[in-house]
Amino acid sequence: MFGLGFWELAVIFLVAFLVLGPKKLPDLAKSIGKGLRDLRRASADLRSTVEEPLDELRKPLQELRDDLTDTVYSIREQVEREAGELPAATGQPALAESDAGGEIDDRRREVEELYAAAAEEEACDAGAAAGVYDPEEPTPCDTVAADDATKESAAPPESDPAGALDPDGTGEARRR
């Protein structure tokens, strides 16, 4: 109860008993109990007045969600049925038998990594804009930027596979 142990409550009761005396203490306890009971009743009333309109809004939304879920599943089943029929008609292997599933997983992983990197960069920018980081100290954003820079400098750019623009890796282009 309020993070107080038995002995703390006993000391509070003893001090109240000594200050108020035995005649006023029961009246004080009654008034405190009545106040707590009224507070609980008021919070329950408030909760019901807030939740009642929300429940009225939740029901149609839940019905809409269920309808959409059913529609998505029926469309998915229809697409899977038609996709299964398509390879037989064209003589091509089915999607599950081909290598397209692996390519899709690779692309999905790439997209997830890009989203994670973008979210991390956005968080760093927001922290810097809010003045969260001390300008004198390195930030988590600095280590992310350093990691990105080492990854970029370790691999030659794809547009320059032979290293013609930067043959010695110093970051300077070859002069003609």
Distance CA(154)–CA(151), nearest Å, equals: 5
Distance CA(67)–CA(57), nearest Å, equals: 16
Tell me the Ramachandran region of residue 173: left when phi exceeds 0, alpha when psi lies from -120 to 50, beta otherwise.
Answer: beta
Model pTM above 0.85: no
Picking from 147, 142, 100, the residue whose alpha carbon sits closest to that of residue 125 is: 142
pLDDT mean over 46-53:
90
Residue 39 has a pLDDT of: 94
Q: Where are the domains of the chain?
A: 101-129
pLDDT mean over 70-77:
90
pLDDT digits (tens, 9 = 90+) for 123-151: 777 666 666 666 666 666 665 555 555 55
Q: Find the Cα–Cα–Cα–Cα dihedral 49, 54, 60, 62, rounded to 10°.
A: -130
pLDDT digits (tens, 9 = 90+) for 7-45: 998 898 888 888 888 888 888 889 989 999 999 999 999
Structure tokens at 79: 């697409």
